[in-house]
Amino acid sequence: MFFKKPAALETECASAKDDLSLSSLPPTTHALMNEERAERLRIRKEKHAAATKQKEKEYRRKEKIYDHAK
């Protein structure tokens, strides 16, 4: 069963969304958010690179073991 939101609640939600929109934030907040996003991206890339390096290292180790077993 579905319930319809009361009209007052819909307008309240709409006004809350307007208050939280990025365009209403000062430009310095945008810059900080972009810096934080860039920092998270940099950390994610570093973690990915480290994981890839570890996987390649493990693959080469297993490959050596396989070659010696021949």
- Per-residue confidence (pLDDT) for residue 57, from 0 to 100: 94
pLDDT tens digits for range 8-62: 555 655 555 555 555 666 677 778 889 999 999 999 999 999 999 999 999 999 9
Note whether residue 51 is domain-resident: yes
State how many domains the chain has. Answer: 1
37 within some domain: yes
Considering the entire predicted model, what is its pTM?
A: 0.48
- Residue 67 pLDDT exceeds 90: no
Residue 2 is predicted with a pLDDT of 54
Q: What per-residue confidence (pLDDT) applies to 12? A: 57
**What's 24's DSSP letter?**
G
User: Which residue range forms the structural domain that includes residue 50?
Assistant: 27-70
Q: Is the pLDDT of residue 5 over 80?
A: no
